[in-house]
A and B are shown apart, each in its own frame.
Chain A
């Protein structure tokens, strides 16, 4: 009951934040930007509270269905944006993140909630660590994707010598490239940690580190792409356009790993498979 209430509050705050950022986009109004940031922070706090409550009832970070996973990624995205906005001033990014977080939470709220208790196999600290690191990593990689998109748009504006509204509202290429790099590095470190903790958990719970399950294969492919991008950035000095495009490709594969693999192929990572382990 309280859980649902807090979740509703978080959703409402995300929607309000999205509205405020929208006003900022159209009017370039400073109070709207500040209001949006505060509302988003409040929404994030509310969702954090709801997740803590969920963890207490379920005995595990509540990510046991697709719906919960969507809500959780919304949380990770909002949190990661808030963390990054401490260093970079990127209200346009907030204008993307707030509605996205709202939609993700809405999707999760619309699917029927099954108050569930994690079964014995879904218990344990390693699984919690696996879920949190992987999702926060996804959040950072999503941010690097957004930074890449903005970079490409802004670069096109500058090359085409269009200095209109889009050019004015988007941050500088330097900022976008730096954000792309920072969130890429952090995101890569976190998904690496996610894969490692996942493997340890698999060893503890299922008796094998790695089973070449489809999700594991795709996670590995995603990891390779990002590893390649980081390598190019650090050694060859790739930056700007090419780095932005590759972070777009990386994120597309990541999305497929996250959503597509679970639906198209079986394997124990899919959400339907997960349900078997949930105590109703």
Chain B
């Protein structure tokens, strides 16, 4: 059984090509129907996201033919010639294909290292393949393994635990301060793309309410409607600070908007609840001195960028550990694949021996004349144990042949030696 992975991703193909090839919105039956289905036991899974299109194939037979067939299929989907597509395609075979799939599922091959969506996309691709009955023993095991590898990478390395956008960094910090965002009130001062994005992030992570304050009330009301919140005028700021928990500030003001005195005055009415300022404005809206007040935390845009870039570096470090996990699991999977080849051979071997035994026993019983029940049983036991003892060592030998490459060779040898594939060779039994 060969495992092949043919595809292209954000590193090898431009977005125009990826767009044309995108198969995730197509009907699953159509995709799998168009896929060249190799001989009887071929298995296939198609993974298509905005950053990659990949076809995983497990099939007996010639890998080169398989690659050509899949490339032709992809070219047809993209409306191009296989020749033009070829430079963008990568082909992985055997352990490389397994490793590649594990890396993709663990988000090590993603544009943003460690982003969490890809695992869900791989699961969805697998679900589609299963619904089309395109999977089999090998792909089922391989895909399930890729889910558990991704889970292992996530839990044993910190690759997914670092926020890599300013908006998400603000959410992460808020979580480290308040623990849960449920019940929190977000105060958005001013407007601007990044500030609105940060507010959106907080709301998506279950912050409860939002108040929008602006120098012009009309603008505040516009934004408030968008976020389903309350509008207020900037002059009300001191009062607004009493109930707010996270303040995102992004005004175009030249002077600071939030002064230490203003914040100090609200500490008592707030009953010292923590207050978190996310200051995205340049020049800054919140006086840096505010950060030194008890239970008040101020992060300006540079601080947030600092968090993001430190996180990116940390993710890269963690990926080294993740690669090791992927390597380990790839070896384990290839071992399993090796045992898969062994089992049918052992079954064939015992079947053939049993066939011979049964035939010979029948012939001998016919010649020996009437025998008692006990005698027949004794003969049966005798022949059976002869057979089992003869086969014991060869079976153990194939089972424990050790390294995979050697195992393949021994399995082949055993099949030839015992002629398990019933090829036409002179049969001494029949010639007699």
Q: Residues of A at under 8 Å CB distance from B? A: 27-31, 154, 158-159, 161, 163-164, 167-168, 171-175, 178, 236-242
**Which of B155, B178, B291, B299 lies in contact with A174, CB distance below 8 A?**
B178
Residues B158 and A158 in contact, CB atoms below 8 Å apart: no
Interface size class of B (residues with CB under 8 A): 20 to 34
Q: Let me know if B116 is at the binding interface, CB within 8 A.
A: no
**What are 6 A-B interface contacts by the 8 Å CB criterion?**
A28-B158, A31-B155, A168-B161, A172-B176, A173-B274, A174-B177
B294 sits at the interface (CB 8 A)? yes
Q: Are B297 and A159 in contact (CB under 8 A)?
A: yes
Complex: A238 Cα to B292 Cα, angstroms: 17
Partner of A27, one of B156, B161, B176, B291: B156
Q: Which residue of B lies closest to A27 (CB)?
A: B156
Is residue B173 contacting chain A, with contact meaning CB distance below 8 A? yes
Count chain B CB atoms within 10 A of each CB in A31, A164, A174 and give the residue with the most: A174
Q: In whole angstroms, how far apart are the Cα atoms of A175 and B176 in the complex? A: 9
Residues B311 and A240 in contact, CB atoms below 8 Å apart: no
Closest to B298 in A: A159
Given contacts A163-B311, A242-B294, is CB(A29)–CB(B156) below 8 Å?
A: yes
Give Cα A269–Cα B272 distance, bound, in whole angstroms: 41
- Report the 6 A-B pairs with minimum CB-CB distance, sorted nearest first: A237-B271, A174-B179, A172-B179, A30-B155, A240-B295, A174-B178
Let me know if B273 is at the binding interface, CB within 8 A. yes
Distance in angstroms between the alpha carbons of A174 and B292 in the assembled complex: 18
Q: Bits for B172-191, please: 1 = Cβ < 8 Å to A, else 0.
A: 01011111100000000000
Are B311 and A172 in touch, CB under 8 angstroms? no
Return the chain A residue nearest B297 by Cβ: A158
Chain A contacts for B311, CB-based, 8 A: 163
Q: Are B273 and A239 in contact (CB under 8 A)?
A: yes
Shortest C-beta distance, B160 to chain A (Å), equals 12
Once bound together, how far apart are the Cα atoms of A29 and B274, in whole Å? 31
B303 on interface, CB distance cutoff 8 Å: yes
Nearest CB of chain B from residue A113's CB, rounded to whole Å: 43
Is the pair B274, A240 in contact by a Cβ cutoff of 8 Å? yes
Q: Which residues of A contact B56 (CB under 8 A)?
A: none
Collect the chain B residues with CB atoms within 8 Å of residue A239's CB. 271-273, 295
Instruction: Write the nearest CB–CB distance from B276 to chain A, whole angstroms.
Output: 9
Query: Quick check: A240 and B294 within 8 Å, CB to CB?
Result: yes
**B340 within 8 A of partner (CB):** no
Question: Do A159 and B291 form a contact, CB below 8 Å, given A168-B158, A172-B179?
Answer: yes
Task: State the CA gap A238–B294 with chains docked (Å).
Answer: 11
Q: How far is B173's CA from A150's CA once the two chains are assembled, in angstroms?
A: 17
Q: Is the CB of A174 within 8 A of B180?
A: yes
Q: How far is the CB of B302 from chain A (nearest CB, A)?
A: 9
Besides the known contacts A164-B310, A178-B179, A237-B272, 10 further A-B residue pairs in the complex with CB atoms under 8 A apart: A31-B155, A158-B173, A159-B292, A163-B310, A171-B179, A172-B176, A172-B177, A173-B176, A173-B177, A241-B295
Is the beta-carbon distance between A175 and B297 smaller than 8 angstroms?
Answer: no
Residues of A within 8 A of B274 (CB): 173-174, 240
